[in-house]
A and B are shown apart, each in its own frame.
Chain A
Amino acid sequence: MGKYTDNPAAVAALVEQHQVHRDTYIDQEIYELEMKHLFSNTWVFVGHDSQTPTKGDYITTQIGNQPVIMVRHSDNEIYVLYNRCPHKGTKIAIDRAGNTGKFFRCPYHAWSFKTNGCLLAIPLKKGYADTAFKDSEANHGLEPVGDVKNYRGFVFARLAKQGISFEDYFGEAMSSFDNMVDRAPEGRLEVAGPPLRYMHQCNWKMLVDNQTDTCHPMVAHESSAGTAVKLFEEANWPEDKPKPMAMEIIAPFMSPYEFFEEMGIRTWPNGHGHTGVHHSIHSDYTQEPEYWDAMVAGHGEERTEEILSEIRHNTVYWPNIMIKGPVQQLRNFIPLGPNKTLVESYIYRLVGAPDYLLQRTAMYNRLINAPTSMVGHDDLEMYERAQEGLHAQSTEWINIQRLHTEEENYDEIAVENGTTERQMRNQMNAWVKFMTMTMSDKVEAAE
């Protein structure tokens, strides 16, 4: 046992409102406690139900460090099961996606399970006849996670059997998901192809922090976005010719500080928040009339106006995803260790919308989120330098003080200047809450 296990006071002491101790980013024991507590007590993104459209379809993924299967059962509901045979531990499925038919069959000893996890059959079952097998855990089949919620196609799970409800956990924060889905004329999304998979040698929270960090784009991305703006100016582009789609995407990264200050940040309880309350870097995208017409046919003019005038930037759903409603994109920051994070970036098709929107969404993904993307190179360089720099025997604290006030209450919804680091403070406030809520206090009890 290290210095943080069973010691909620020591864990809580790592977070002050205006600064965070480096152990939250570099310490192995803290990472393991995050997996055990934070990723068990919170609602974590699993997948989209269009990834498993027909009965028996499944995907394999992970919640924190826990291997799980998301599968569509014969009742058409989505189940999330631990990917572990109750017999010897073999992973039941390892394809990233597939169809298992009516049941899963373990490839090791052919134990089989219904797609809701129930044990179906064991070969040579008489071998257990005179044992107390029916009382053993192995008899329970593939264990489901604590709770599952399918919200308008997006599947979330809470590993812990008891805990906060989905509604209490997210509250009004789901408005960004609503806006993303409402942007489809038919009111639903479909996943478009496999995700980008980008490996980062840094802590997962650096990526989460970066999503609402509005003081870095004009600095870290000067190399890509700044160069793009310069090349475009030199190209003497005719005014009547439409701007290239790539320029629409990349040029706003160079917007001045005032633009980001004025766009605003909203924070919600439990660590959720978004940039782009009033406008965002996605505000000036070209809109074709045929999309407007399709939206009006699906939603009516008033609702269409309402939906399309909400142009949020990044919404963080604590702990580890970000969505961009206007771009139909979701990034999943999967923690693989204190200094290793796999980023999976998904795109979705607006059902009923013209193709140019999906074309832009796919372009955004490869220009910004790919391991081959210049913007991605800019960011990863900063994360990896920080991950190494944090080990310096200098200060042990990370500063998150920009626009901090003494009166901040993270249980209240707030809208503030778009360059505040309040959302990072909000995240770490939620970090302490969900890290310590199920932690026993053996250390204090012993004293």
Chain B
Amino acid sequence: MTLTRDDIIDFIYDEARMLDEGRFSEWLDLWIPEGHYWMPLDYKQTDPDLVTSLLYEDDFMRRLRVERLNGERTFSQKPKSRCHHVIQRPFVDEFDLDAGHFVTNTSMHYIETRLDEQFLLAITATHELRLVDGKLRIANKRVDLLNSDAAFGNIQLLP
């Protein structure tokens, strides 16, 4: 079976559904351990390391985040938040079957809610995917918020 562009696109849709359904442990397994989940603070930021980002999470931090969401004494998740991604069909910007390397660019509306509060973020997600043992994996994911420089309240789940 040969991987097609549609398989790449389906992967992005499946990830969004996983997050919306709260299947965070499955989501962790989508990642290559060395990969980073990056949410820049500044519009068109290029450096994740020496200026502040909203998120720049490695495997340990991703696991901590997911583990904490289910914690007995995680008071900011009592009651729990819920999220919802509405995604536009991803652009497959790079499709290199031989190298097993793919890059997508996806526009999304992300909604998160808890108690009586709900907010909307307009985001662009850039996924770098790799084929590992015949399966697609997230090598890196960058999430740019349209209003990344605005003041936010808590963003507790995973845009």
Determine if B152 and A362 form an interchain contact, defined as CB atoms under 8 angstroms apart: no
Of the listed stretches A204-212, A271-279, A302-310, A367-375, chain B binds A367-375
Complex contact A220–B75 (CB within 8 A): yes
Cα distance A194–B52 in the bound complex, in angstroms: 8
Q: Is the CB of B60 within 8 A of A231?
A: yes
Whether A439 is near chain B, meaning CB under 8 Å from some CB there, is: no
Contact B149 A197 (CB under 8 A): yes
Segment among A120-128, A221-229, A285-293 that sits at the interface with chain B: A221-229
CB-CB contacts below 8 Å: A341-387 with B = 342, 345, 347, 349, 355, 358-359, 362-363, 365-367, 370-372, 374, 376-378, 380-382
Flag if A372 contacts B149 (CB, 8 Å): no
A231 to B62, CA, bound (A): 11
How many residues of B are in contact with the other chain, CB < 8 A?
33
B50 and A372 contacting across the interface, CB-CB below 8 Å: no
Set A247, A366, A374: member contacting B52, Cβ < 8 A: A366
Check A366 against B53 for contact (C-beta < 8 Å): yes
Task: Name the residue on B nearest A370 (C-beta).
Answer: B54
* Complex Cα gap A220–B60 (Å): 21
Q: How far is the CA of A358 from the CA of B41 in the complex (A)?
A: 16
Query: Is A65 positioned at the interface, with any CB of B under 8 Å from its CB?
Result: no
**B45 to nearest A CB, angstroms?**
8
**Looking at the complex, which one of B52, B61, B67 makes contact with A195 (CB distance below 8 Å)?**
B52
Contact A197–B152 (Cβ < 8 Å): yes
Which residues on A sit within 8 Å (CB–CB) of B39? 372
**B55 contacts the other chain (CB 8 A):** yes
Q: How many residues of A contact B (CB 8 A)?
A: 47
A227 to B73 alpha-carbon distance, docked (Å): 10
User: Given known contacts A199-B151, A246-B61, A371-B154, is B71 in contact with A223 (CB within 8 Å)?
Assistant: yes
- Judge whether A166 is part of the interface by a CB distance below 8 angstroms: no
23 contacts between A and B (CB under 8 A): A193-B51, A194-B51, A196-B52, A199-B153, A222-B73, A223-B71, A223-B75, A227-B68, A227-B71, A244-B58, A246-B61, A359-B49, A359-B50, A362-B49, A362-B52, A366-B53, A370-B54, A371-B54, A371-B155, A372-B39, A372-B55, A374-B68, A381-B76
CB distance from B154 to the nearest CB of A (A): 5
B99 within 8 Å of A (CB atoms) = no
Would you list which residues of chain A between 249 and 294 have a CB under 8 Å from chain B?
none
Contact B60 A371 (CB under 8 A): no
Given known contacts A193-B42, A381-B75, is B52 in contact with A347 (CB within 8 Å)?
A: yes
How many angstroms from the CA of A355 to the CA of B41 in the assembled complex?
20
**Within 8 Å of chain B (Cβ to Cβ): is A192?**
yes
Given the known interface contacts A196-B41, A358-B50, A366-B53, the answer about A377 and B151 at a Cβ–Cβ threshold of 8 Å is no
Q: Interface residues of A: mostly helix, strand, loop or mixed?
A: helix
A198 at the interface (CB under 8 A from B): yes
B65 at the interface (CB under 8 A from A): yes
Output the nearest chain B residue to A199 by Cβ-Cβ distance.
B151
Given A193-B42, A244-B60, decide whether A198 and B50 contact each other with a Cβ distance below 8 A.
no
Question: B150 near A: Cβ within 8 Å?
Answer: yes
Rounded to whole Å, the gap between the CB of B6 and the closest CB of chain A is 32
Cβ contacts under 8 Å, B67 to chain A: 227, 230-231
Give the interface of B toward A (CB within 8 A).
Answer: 39, 41-42, 49-56, 58, 60-61, 63-65, 67-68, 71, 73-77, 149-156
Task: Say yes or no: B155 contacts A362, CB within 8 Å.
Answer: no
With the chains together, A235 CA to B59 CA distance in Å? 12
The interface of chain A, by Cβ under 8 A from chain B, is 96, 192-201, 220, 222-224, 226-228, 230-232, 235, 244, 246-247, 342, 345, 347, 349, 355, 358-359, 362-363, 365-367, 370-372, 374, 376-378, 380-382
**Which residues of A are found within 8 Å of B42, using beta-carbon distances?**
193-194
Measured between C-beta atoms, what is the minimum distance from A308 to chain B in Å?
A: 22
Q: Measured between C-beta atoms, what is the minimum distance from B62 to chain A in Å?
A: 11
Q: What B residues does A349 contact at CB under 8 A? A: 50
A244 to B63, CA, bound (A): 14
Contacts of B50 in A (CB 8 A): 192, 349, 355, 358-359, 362
Select which of A246, A363, A377 is within 8 A of B76 by beta carbon.
A377
On whether the beta carbons of A374 and B154 are closer than 8 Å, the reply is no
Further pairs besides A96-B149, A366-B52: 5, Cβ < 8 Å: A231-B60, A246-B58, A246-B60, A342-B151, A366-B54
Given A193-B41, A358-B50, residue A223 in contact with residue B73 (CB < 8 A): yes
- Interchain nearest-CB distance for B15 vs A (Å): 18
In the complex, A301 Cα to B71 Cα: how many Å? 47
